[in-house]
């Protein structure tokens, strides 16, 4: 795969117009029926001796006779006499018991495996942090301040992701009329409000916790401006589209904060913007398969989140500090992006005294060439030339661009 972004394509140029199964030990003995227990006698004295503390722990009188009995207590499946009468029918009892127990057992393990998002670590290959970069503040749009993480020079090719900005904007700064082609923009508000208007008459305001998932496809021209007093803060993620989707009809998915699935458990609060966590799936349709989870961990909390193995994934820390991937790792703090290595899941621990908030983002790589010129992202230079041409002359999806001007 080659990644081509040349010359002035490196930054975002200013607008040309103003424009498991969980590795839980199988505690099957705990759920086996008592009649199985009759089938054998525990001959391993050491194993039986280990049971003594059980009596002590449970406050039962640890009488000698009792312990003695216990050491002779028949145990599961060991040394049974195959010639006894009861032994001849007992295999059937075992079979019936196993069949009766199979469905509840399967349910039990299914529950455990769905718990693996947050329960004890159960990853075959835990993902570790392979790169940590501070997203420094820079200016973009019209006087807006952004902390660019993905998309900065040292973090350019995290396929399918093109950019992640944490933006903090106070009026009159903002992102006035500009085009997009060939990818999706995901705007998730953390504080304040943003109003967007587009050339097709689509308009809306998103507030803290709200989401706009815009699939620009063949073309959108819009403005994105702050709508509340003071600081308006959020995350904007750019996800590439595969060559077959780049010229699709544009589409919006807008969710208000209360429509975004949220799970709160054991000091963990997760908002499931895209993908799945704690067995809960987001209704957002991701043209390029994507996971986007907003986690807040209270002090002492931890999470163990599955991530598909073949996906690229990273973390952006919004607030606080935490241990990512390895409990003995150095803590990582806010405004850092952590690129994750290969593996099937991520563990995070908050051993600090403050809440930790971070976005976990993953996506299926497209493995295609990327040619980017600011807000046009295509596969070849010729397609970029075509995008400029279409935008300038109002063609192939940009028909409404010629006359339109936002009202903000």
- Over the window 348 to 387, marking each residue x when it contacts ligand FJE by CB under 6 A and - when it does not, the resulting string is --------------------------xx------------
Residue carrying structure tokens 């989401």: 211
Nearest C-alpha neighbor of 246 from the set 400, 87, 377, 92 = 377
Is the Cα dihedral 121, 127, 128, 134 positive or negative? negative
Stretch of residues binding ligand FJE (CB under 6 A), selected from 41-49, 112-120, 121-129, 139-147: 139-147
- The CA distance from 312 to 341, in Å, is 8
From candidates 38, 140, 269, 344, binder to ligand FJE by CB under 6 A: 140
Stretch of residues binding ligand FJE (CB under 6 A), selected from 40-48, 114-122, 140-148, 263-271: 140-148
Between residues 165 and 302, which has the closer beta carbon with respect to ligand FJE?
Answer: 165
β 370-373/3-4 pair status: parallel
212-271 residues in contact with ligand FJE (CB under 6 A) are 224, 236
Q: What is the CA radius of gyration of the chain?
A: 29
Beta bridge partners of 319: 357
Nearest C-alpha neighbor of 374 from the set 174, 154, 175 = 175
- The CA distance from 305 to 320, in Å, is 19
359 sits in which H/E element: strand 356-363
Between residues 143 and 300, which has the closer beta carbon with respect to ligand FJE?
Answer: 143
**Contact assessment for residue 193 and residue 228, using Cβ atoms and an 8 Å cutoff:** yes
Stretch of residues binding ligand FJE (CB under 6 A), selected from 1-9, 70-78, 138-146, 301-309: 138-146
Minimum distance between the CB of residue 159 and ligand FJE, rounded to whole angstroms?
19
Q: Does 137 bind ligand FJE (CB under 6 A)?
A: no
From candidates 9, 12, 181, 182, binder to ligand FJE by CB under 6 A: 12
- The CA distance from 21 to 2, in Å, is 36
- The CA distance from 279 to 175, in Å, is 37
**Contact assessment for residue 372 and residue 162, using Cβ atoms and an 8 Å cutoff:** yes
Q: Does 325 bind ligand FJE (CB under 6 A)?
A: no
Q: Does 167 bind ligand FJE (CB under 6 A)?
A: yes
Intra-chain end-to-end CA distance of the chain, in Å: 41
From candidates 175, 188, 295, 314, binder to ligand FJE by CB under 6 A: 175
From candidates 75, 129, 146, 337, binder to ligand FJE by CB under 6 A: 146
Minimum distance between the CB of residue 8 and ligand FJE, rounded to whole angstroms?
12
Give residues in contact with ligand FJE (CB under 6 A).
Answer: 12, 14, 140-141, 146, 165, 167, 175, 178, 187, 194, 224, 236, 374-375
């Amino acid at each position: 795969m080659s990644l081509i972004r040349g010359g002035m394509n490196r930054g975002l140029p200013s607008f040309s117009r103003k424009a498991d199964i969980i590795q839980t030990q199988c505690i099957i003995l705990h759920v086996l029926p008592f009649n199985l227990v009759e089938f054998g006698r525990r001959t391993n004295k050491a194993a039986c001796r280990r049971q003594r503390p059980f009596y002590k722990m449970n406050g039962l009188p640890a009488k000698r006779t009792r312990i003695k009995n216990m050491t002779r207590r028949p145990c599961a499946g060991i040394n049974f006499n195959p010639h006894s009468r009861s032994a001849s029918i007992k295999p059937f009892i075992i079979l019936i018991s196993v069949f009766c127990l199979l469905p509840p057992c399967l349910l039990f393990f299914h529950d455990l495996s769905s718990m693996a998002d947050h329960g004890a670590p159960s990853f075959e290959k835990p993902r570790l942090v392979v790169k940590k970069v501070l997203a420094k503040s820079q200016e973009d749009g019209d006087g807006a301040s952004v902390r660019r993480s993905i998309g900065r020079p040292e973090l350019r090719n995290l396929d399918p992701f093109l950019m992640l900005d944490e933006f903090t904007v106070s009026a009159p700064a903002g992102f006035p009329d500009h085009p997009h082609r060939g990818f999706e923009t995901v705007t998730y508000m953390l504080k304040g409000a943003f109003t967007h208007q587009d050339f097709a008459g689509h308009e809306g305001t998103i507030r803290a916790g709200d989401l706009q998932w815009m699939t620009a496809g063949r073309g959108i021209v819009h403005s994105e401006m702050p709508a509340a007093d003071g600081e308006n803060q959020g995350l904007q993620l750019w996800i590439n589209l595969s060559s077959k989707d780049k010229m699709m009809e544009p589409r919006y998915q807008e969710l208000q904060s209360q429509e975004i699935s949220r799970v709160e458990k054991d000091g963990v609060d997760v908002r499931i913007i895209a993908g799945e966590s704690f067995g809960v799936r987001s209704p957002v349709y991701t043209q390029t398969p994507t996971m986007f989870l907003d986690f807040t961990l209270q002090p002492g909390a931890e999470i163990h989140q599955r991530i598909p193995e073949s996906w690229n994934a990273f973390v952006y820390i919004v607030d606080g500090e935490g241990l990512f991937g390895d409990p003995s790792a150095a803590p990582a703090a806010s405004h850092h992006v952590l690129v994750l290595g290969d593996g099937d899941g991520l563990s995070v621990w908050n051993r600090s005294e403050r809440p930790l908030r971070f976005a976990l983002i993953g996506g299926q790589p497209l493995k295609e060439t990327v040619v980017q010129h600011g807000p046009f992202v295509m596969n070849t230079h010729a397609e970029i030339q075509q995008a400029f041409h279409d935008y300038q002359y109002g063609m192939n999806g940009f028909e409404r661009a010629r006359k339109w001007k936002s009202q903000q």
